[in-house]
């Protein structure tokens, strides 16, 4: 009977070893069964948090509601910009006239919640990879994070353009002639998730959509700044706001990444708004192959 229970716990348990131990020590077996019942995937807790917790909803709602309160002030101040790439002289009335107000939002874990994708990866013992991710994008099933729909509605009510700037990548998909099926899929998903329909001034900009639009979002922010004045920026990764350690081929430390928070302390909470993402990101990638070393 006990061995049957072990079987139900899944493949991470070493059945052969358990059978051997079972013959010699009942209590060792119980201990091993208990250890087998511990979370078996490194992303289990973070995915469950993003999938089920009230705290996640409260956190994202807090971000978007507080941002919405300062939107009108940011729009009214014609010298206000949230983008480091905004190079024009915003004190020049002629420049002010030419720039439309806009906000920039990253998409994944900023507007759309992909926790169901990561749940699938854990449940089906699959890998986070281009193929499984692209299949998820094509399903258009990601839901909106709490608070973002109301925020985007408010921005549009105030005549502010919405720019979705994502590192979802344009790439050929087997069986499709489209150059960027991921872009149309993303637009459909934004609508099915309940975001307001795109207006003529709204933009959806993917990685590789144009030559040179690489993982570093700076070039795309500069492109947007040519015609828009950026009031607020939202993301779940430092690179959503500025060129960041961890988005390049360097090997930064967590401390180097955290230094960017102090460097731009005047922007957080007024111009830049960070959403929590414990599931993935450069914050995790920079820990390397031995993340336990950081437990010291």
**Which residues of this protein are in contact with Mg ion, per CB under 5 A?**
106, 108-110, 236
Please, are residues 245 and 254 in contact by the beta-carbon 8 Å criterion? no
Maximal CA-CA distance, the chain: 85
Other CB atoms within 10 Å distance of the CB of residue 150: 14
**In the complex with Mg ion, which residue's Cβ is closer, 85 or 236?**
236
Q: How far apart, in whole angstroms, are the C-alpha atoms of residue 242 and residue 73?
A: 23
- Please choose, from the candidates 208, 125, 110, the residue with its C-alpha nearest in 3D space to the C-alpha of residue 164: 110
Name the β-bridge partners of 41.
none
Between 86 and 110, CB nearer to Mg ion: 110
Smallest separation (angstroms) from Mg ion to the CB of 107: 6
- CA separation for the pair 7, 14 (Å, rounded): 10
Tell me whether residue 239 or residue 252 sits nearer to Mg ion (CB atom).
Answer: 239
Nearer to Mg ion, 109 or 185 (CB): 109
**185 vs 236 by CB, closer to Mg ion:** 236
Residue 234: CB minimum distance to Mg ion, A: 9
**Residues 37, 38, 44: CA angle, nearest 5 degrees:** 120
Output the CA–CA distances (angstroms, integers) from residue 233 to 186, 268, 282, 296, in the order listed: 19, 10, 18, 35
Minimum distance of Mg ion from residue 282's CB (angstroms): 10
Least Å distance, CB 114 to Mg ion, is 9
Nearest approach in angstroms of CB 42 to Mg ion is: 19
């Amino acid at each position: 009977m006990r061995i049957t229970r072990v079987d139900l716990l899944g493949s991470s348990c070493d059945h052969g070893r358990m059978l051997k131990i079972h013959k010699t020590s009942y209590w060792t077996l119980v201990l091993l069964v208990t250890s087998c019942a511990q979370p078996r995937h490194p992303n289990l807790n973070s995915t469950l948090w993003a999938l089920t917790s009230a705290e996640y909803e409260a956190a994202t709602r807090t971000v978007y509601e507080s941002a919405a309160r300062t939107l009108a002030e940011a729009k009214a101040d014609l010298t206000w910009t949230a983008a480091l790439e905004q190079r024009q002289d915003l004190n020049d009335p002629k420049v002010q006239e030419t720039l439309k107000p806009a906000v920039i939002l990253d998409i994944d874990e900023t507007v759309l919640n992909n926790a169901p994708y990561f749940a699938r990866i854990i449940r089906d013992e699959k890998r986070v990879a281009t193929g499984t991710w692209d299949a998820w994008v094509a399903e258009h099933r990601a839901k909106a994070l709490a608070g973002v729909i109301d925020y985007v509605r408010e921005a549009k009510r105030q005549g502010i353009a919405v720019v979705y700037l994502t590192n979802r990548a344009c790439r050929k998909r087997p069986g499709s002639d489209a150059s960027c099926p991921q872009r149309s899929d993303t637009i459909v998903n934004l609508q099915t998730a309940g975001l307001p329909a795109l207006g003529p001034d709204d933009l959806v900009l993917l990685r590789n959509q144009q030559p040179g639009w690489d993982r570093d979002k700076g070039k795309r922010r500069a492109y947007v700044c040519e015609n828009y004045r950026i009031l607020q920026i939202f993301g779940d990764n430092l690179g959503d706001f500025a060129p960041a350690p961890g988005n390049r081929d360097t090997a930064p430390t967590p401390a180097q990444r955290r230094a960017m928070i102090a460097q731009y302390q005047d922007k957080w909470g007024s111009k830049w708004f960070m959403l929590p993402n414990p599931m993935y990101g450069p914050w995790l990638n920079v820990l390397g192959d031995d993340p336990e070393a950081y437990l010291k």
